[in-house]
Copies of this chain bind each other. A is one copy, B any other.
Amino acid sequence: MFTGLSAFPLTPLHHDAFDESTYARLISRLVEAKVDSITALGSTGSYMYLDRAERGRVARSAVQHAENIPVLVGIGALRTSAVQALAHDAQEAGASGLLLAPVTYQGLSDDEVFTLFQDVDAQVSVPLVVYDNPGTTHVRFSEELYARITTLEHVASIKIPGVPTDPKEASARVRSIREHIRTGVTVGVSGDATAANGLIAGCDAWYSVIGGTLPQLALRISRAALGGDSASALSESARLEPLWSLFAAHGSYRVTAAIAEYLSLVAADCLPRPVLSLNAEQRALVAKVVDQLQLTD
């Protein structure tokens, strides 16, 4: 389950409320494309901006519309007891796995991060994905911390940040991680711009932002890379350089929302305030890239 393409859909809001019918259509696109798994309520799915009741509704909706595709659900929150409550809700909703980032307000020591995972691991019955996302959590995982956390019973995968673009460095990075973690725990790359490199370097999975909105596009890369056709994967990723440049400039979160809006997959202003949609000029640039690259899936 923790291999291949895991697609991270947006959680569209409309007038500050969860837009369930739009969300159902986003999930159905992923089902039609046959992604390997769906991760509801990742960073792209705005999990940290939604309250417990909303997150329950999103999780149930994702599972309901995902048909036979496994659904992972993000359960990150600032307080351990809140994470445990969200884990409970996600499991009740039918999640096949749980994604947990050590979100911070006060910075956390390695011992505190480990204890968080330990406290959650002790209460769940489905597999856990460790979400290493320093850009949002400000936690810097060491390989030693990966090692400690992957001793926990339910930890099944690690979502790592983007890998180096140099293939040798990328392979060395993935190899070093594998040497530290329990055998059987998969390594999934995030950072869409380096996903092809990551998969070619030996990652098992791609935890993908763009795959949640343009799944066919992401599947072309993941299937080529995991099927041994590195050249095609790299060539497709290289073709998307203007998209990766937009991600670098404005963040994958806002750019993906702008793409979804331009393709009429979501209504305008689908992100939770205070996060604002890209402005008109930025949206025009996104539209131009969508057209140029024919990003219509």
Residues of A within 8 A of B (CB): 16, 43, 48-51, 78-82, 102-103, 105-109, 111-113, 115-116, 119, 135-136, 138, 251, 253, 272-276
Is A112 within 8 A of B276, CB to CB?
yes
Inter-chain contacts of A273 with B (CB < 8 A): 79-81, 115-116, 119
Copy total for this chain: 2
Query: Are A106's CB and B138's CB within 8 A?
Result: no
List the 5 closest pairs (A to B, CB-CB), nearest first. A116-B274, A80-B273, A48-B105, A49-B79, A112-B274
Contacting residues, chain B, for A80 (C-beta < 8 A):
272-274
Residue of B whose beta carbon sits closest to that of A51: B82
When chains A and B are docked, how far (Å) is the Cα of A137 from the Cα of B253?
19
Residues in B whose Cβ lies below 8 Å from that of A108: 274-275
On whether the beta carbons of A78 and B49 are closer than 8 Å, the reply is yes
Q: How far is the CA of A51 from the CA of B275 in the complex (A)?
A: 21
Q: Which residues of B contact A115 (CB under 8 A)?
A: 273-274, 276
Interface centre among A48, A81, A102, A138 (most CB of B within 10 A): A81
Contact partner of A272 (CB less than 8 A), chosen from B79, B136, B274, B275, is: B79
Which residues of B have CB within 8 Å of A16? 81
Smallest Cβ-Cβ distance to A116: which chain B residue: B274
Task: Find chain B residues with CB under 8 A from A135 CB.
Answer: 107
With both chains docked as a complex, state the minimum distance between the C-beta of A155 and any C-beta of chain B, in angstroms.
Answer: 16
Q: Which chain B residues lie closer than 8 Å to A275 at the CB level?
A: 106, 108, 112
Q: A49-B105, A80-B272, A102-B274 are in contact. List 10 more A-B contacts (CB 8 A).
A: A50-B79, A80-B274, A81-B273, A106-B251, A107-B135, A107-B251, A108-B274, A112-B276, A113-B274, A116-B273
Chain B nearest CB from A83 CB (Å) reads: 8
20 residue pairs A–B, Cβ–Cβ below 8 Å = A43-B105, A48-B105, A49-B79, A50-B79, A51-B82, A79-B273, A80-B272, A81-B272, A81-B273, A102-B274, A103-B105, A106-B251, A107-B135, A107-B251, A111-B276, A112-B274, A112-B276, A115-B273, A119-B273, A138-B138
* Residue in B closest to A77 when the chains form the complex, CB atoms: B49
Instruction: Find the B residue at minimum CB distance from A108.
Output: B274
**Cα A112 to Cα B253 with chains together (Å):** 15
Instruction: Please measure, in the bound complex, the distance between the C-alpha atom of A107 and the C-alpha atom of B272, giving whole angstroms.
Output: 13
In the assembled complex, the Cα of A113 lies from the Cα of B275 at a distance in Å of: 9
Which of B79, B103, B106, B116 contacts A136, CB < 8 Å?
B106
Given B78, B138, B253, B276, which contacts A48 in the complex, CB threshold below 8 Å? B78
Contacts of A51 in B (CB 8 A): 82
Residue among A80, A119, A274 with the highest chain B CB neighbour number at 10 A: A274
Q: How far is the CA of A116 from the CA of B135 in the complex (A)?
A: 21
| Interface pair A106/B276, CB less than 8 Å apart | no
Chain B residue nearest in CB terms to A103: B105
- Residues of chain B with a CB closer than 8 A to A113's CB: 274
